[in-house]
């Protein structure tokens, strides 16, 4: 009897058994039954595929089922798709698990699924240990067939029932700039998933009107393995200027699977009328004019690059020469000398004074009587210990005034006095001793 069962398993289509390394009669191995009574369907309509795993004992954990996913196939698991089962085999009760798939071809033509593997974990009663066995379904072919009466449908939609409704919010015949109108279209289907429905409200350009579409909303339900659902689309039209135009009628051809005929669902169009000044007209640019403008811009950029490449070094050199001339000028040396006097810096006074005097045109200002007298007083007050209040500030102020008087740039028409001191027998200057 057991041998006859194995022969039947091998000959019957859709019935698979595992080869676990031993002869079929050596022990009872898990079995896989593939129940796929119909392999052809109208695109969008589901086919029923059931896989059943049977073991002689029990399964410590559920089988690892295949997904069966492939291009141009919609695979779904209905509610309660997996259920426990039991069967009498060879006079014994075998336990098992069954999984139900609903597969819908999305286009016409054949889709071949390669053999799918089901990994089963079961308890071996002979050894008392858990074992794993890989069962294979064998190749599965699914075909989508379009009825002859519906071959011209594009897109192809087949359903048990389909309705199309439209809602309008606003007054299309009495609009002014700033008004808005909302158009909503809803398609309800039975016996088909709403994901097969196409876009209903396409883009439309109307003068003086701006369109703002919303994202489509899909809703799907399942009742006793029968799919149904809706697809809702809406567009808000905003009046920006005078104008308007026609919003076209919406039509959708579909194949009625119950009656076997092609039907048409439709929603009437409407006319938008906007009172107001017409929108500003803008003439599109000629492609040749655009090319000429681009060429002119490229030439201008090239000339600008060449000019900058030539001018920047020249400007840099000119700035460097001007900077060098400024650093070598009498005015720069004068400002440095005034800063030294302002800081009361005895150590830096003589170098700054010599630098400035070397850049003065004409007689040496260091030999002017007021300047020498101020320097002598500054040295005497620093090293002689004069008793006047703030003697250093007084001496520095006197030196600054004497230098301003002796500066040739302030008296271009007069010569700086270079007479020797009135009392040449006087003691050496304290500033020189420093």
Distance between CA 329 and CA 198 in Å, rounded?
85
- Domains contained in the chain, number: 3
Residue 324 counted as domain residue = no
Label residue 7 by pLDDT band (50, 70, 90).
Answer: very low
Residues 62 and 137 occupy one common structural domain: yes
Same domain assignment for residues 98 and 172: no
- CA quadruple 371, 377, 382, 384: dihedral sign: positive
CA distance 433 to 380: 10
- Residue 315 placed within a domain: no
Segment 390-409 mean pLDDT = 79
Is the pLDDT confidence value at 431 over 50? no
The residue-averaged pLDDT of 294-321 equals 86
In this structure, the answer to whether residues 139 and 18 fall within a common structural domain is: yes
**316, part of any domain:** no
pTM equals 0.54
User: Does 127 map to a domain?
Assistant: yes
d(C-alpha 391, C-alpha 213), whole Å = 90
Which residue, 230, 250, 274, sits at the end of a domain?
274
Mean pLDDT of the chain: 82
Among 35-49, 134-148, 287-301, 401-415, which stretch is predicted with the lowest mean pLDDT? 401-415
Q: Is the dihedral of CA 380, 382, 385, 389 positive or negative?
A: positive
Lowest mean pLDDT among 143-147, 285-289, 352-356: 285-289
In a domain, 299, yes or no: no
Q: Is the pLDDT of residue 245 over 80?
A: yes
Does one domain contain both 135 and 238?
no
Report the C-alpha gap between 5 and 22 in whole angstroms.
17
Q: Which residues lie across from 209 on neighbouring strands?
A: 206, 239
pLDDT at site 285: 60
Mean pLDDT of 324-337: 87
pLDDT at 412: 47
C-beta separation of 117 from 99 below 8 A: no
Cα–Cα dist 237/212, whole Å: 6
| Distance from C-alpha of 116 to C-alpha of 425, rounded to nearest angstrom | 126
Q: How confident is the model at residue 325 (pLDDT cuts 50, 70, 90)?
A: confident
Short-list 4, 7, 8, 13, CA closest to 137:
13
Q: What is the pLDDT of residues 49-102, one digit of tens each?
A: 999 999 999 999 999 999 998 999 999 898 888 999 999 888 889 999 999 999
Q: Which of 85-99, 140-154, 229-243, 301-315 has the lowest mean pLDDT?
A: 301-315
Q: Which two tokens stand for residue 55?
A: 């073991």
- Do 47 and 102 contact (CB within 8 A), yes or no? yes
- What is the pLDDT at residue 394? 82
Query: Same structural domain for residues 70 and 128?
Result: yes
- Which pLDDT score, from 0 to 100, does residue 198 have? 92
- Tell whether the model's pLDDT for residue 155 goes beyond 50: yes
Q: Is residue 312 part of a domain?
A: no
- Indicate if 48 and 71 belong to the same structural domain: yes
- The answer to whether the CB of 146 falls within 8 A of the CB of 156 is yes
For residue 342, what pLDDT is reported?
87
Q: Looking at the structure, do residues 84 and 55 belong to the same domain, yes or no?
A: yes
- Residue 84 structure tokens: 């426990």
Contact present, 54 and 33 (Cβ < 8 Å): yes
Poorest-pLDDT segment among 18-22, 112-116, 215-219: 18-22
Among 348, 405, 346, which residue's Cα sits nearest to residue 373?
405
Is residue 424's pLDDT more than 80? Answer: no
Q: Which residues of 116-145 are buried (b: 16+ CB within 10 A; e: fewer)?
A: bebebbbebeeeeeebebebbbeebebbbe
Position 290 in a domain: no
| DSSP strand pairing (73-76 vs 109-113) | unpaired
pLDDT reported for residue 312: 82
Whole-number Å distance between alpha carbons of 368 and 421: 9
Pairwise pLDDT comparison (68 vs 26), residue with the higher score? 68
What pLDDT, on the 0 to 100 scale, is given for residue 268?
A: 93
In this prediction, what percent of the chain has a pLDDT beyond 70?
Answer: 84
25-34, 70-79, 161-170, 414-423, range with the lowest pLDDT: 414-423
Say what the pLDDT of residue 185 is. 96
The range of the structural domain enclosing residue 400 comes to: 330-433
Q: Which of 120, 144, 168 is the last residue of a domain?
A: 144
pLDDT at 194 over 70: yes
**DSSP tag of 85:** E
Answer whether residue 360 is part of any domain: yes
| Chain length of the chain | 434
- Out of 259, 274, 289, a domain closes at 274
Same domain, residue pair 179 and 77: no
State the pLDDT at residue 235: 95
- Return the beta strands (E) in 248-352 as ranges: 250-256, 261-267, 270-274
Q: Is 371 helix (H, G, I), strand (E, B) or coil?
A: helix
**Cα 108 from Cα 146, distance rounded (Å):** 6
Under a CB-based contact definition with an 8 Å cutoff, are residues 105 and 55 in contact? no
- With a pLDDT cut of 90, the percent of the chain lying above it is 38
Statement to judge: residues 270 and 372 lie in one domain? no
Question: What pLDDT does residue 134 have?
Answer: 94
Residue 419 CB contacts under 8 Å (≥ 6 apart), including other chains: 369
Do 208 and 104 lie in a common domain? no
Q: Are residues 124 and 213 in the same domain?
A: no
139 shares a domain with 11:
yes
pLDDT value of position 83: 93
């Amino acid at each position: 009897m057991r041998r006859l069962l194995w022969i039947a398993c091998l000959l019957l289509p859709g019935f698979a058994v595992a080869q676990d390394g031993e002869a079929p009669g050596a022990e009872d191995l898990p079995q896989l039954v593939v129940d796929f009574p119909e392999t052809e369907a109208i695109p969008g309509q589901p086919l029923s595929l059931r896989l059943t795993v049977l073991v002689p004992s029990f399964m410590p954990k559920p089988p690892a089922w295949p997904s069966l996913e492939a291009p141009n196939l919609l695979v779904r698991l209905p509610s309660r798709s997996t259920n426990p089962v039991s069967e009498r085999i060879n006079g014994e009760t075998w336990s098992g698990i069954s999984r139900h798939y609903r597969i819908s071809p999305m286009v016409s033509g054949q889709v071949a699924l390669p053999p799918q593997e089901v990994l089963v974990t079961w308890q071996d009663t002979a050894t008392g240990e858990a074992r794993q066995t890989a069962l294979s379904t064998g190749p599965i072919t699914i075909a989508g067939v379009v009825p002859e009466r519906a071959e011209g449908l594009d897109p192809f939609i087949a359903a048990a029932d389909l309705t199309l409704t439209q809602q309008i919010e606003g007054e299309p015949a009495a609009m002014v700039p700033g008004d808005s109108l909302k158009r909503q279209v809803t398609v309800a289907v039975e016996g088909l998933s709403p994901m097969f429905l196409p876009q209903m409200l396409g883009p439309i350009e109307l003068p003086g009107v701006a369109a703002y579409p919303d994202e489509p909303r899909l809703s799907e339900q399942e009742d006793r393995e029968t799919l149904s659902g809706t697809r809702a689309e809406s567009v808000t039209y905003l009046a920006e200027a005078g104008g308007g135009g026609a919003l076209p009628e919406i039509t959708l051809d579909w194949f009625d699977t119950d009656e076997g005929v092609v039907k048409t669902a439709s929603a009437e169009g409407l006319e938008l009328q906007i009172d107001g000044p017409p929108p500003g007209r803008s003439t599109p640019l000629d492609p040749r004019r655009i090319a000429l403008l681009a060429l002119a811009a490229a030439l201008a950029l090239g000339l600008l690059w060449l000019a900058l490449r030539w001018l920047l070094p020249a400007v840099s050199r000119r700035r460097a020469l001007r900077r060098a001339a400024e650093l070598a000028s009498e005015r720069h040396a004068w400002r440095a000398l005034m800063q030294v006097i302002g800081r009361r810096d005895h150590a830096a006074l003589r170098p700054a004074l010599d630098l400035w005097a070397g850049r003065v045109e004409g007689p040496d200002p260091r030999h002017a009587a007021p300047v020498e007298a101020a320097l002598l007083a500054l040295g005497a007050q620093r090293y002689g210990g004069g008793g006047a209040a703030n003697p250093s500030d007084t001496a520095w102020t006197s030196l600054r005034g004497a230098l301003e008087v002796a500066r040739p740039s302030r008296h271009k028409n007069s010569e700086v006095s270079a007479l020797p001191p009135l009392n040449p027998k006087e003691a050496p200057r304290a500033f020189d001793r420093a």
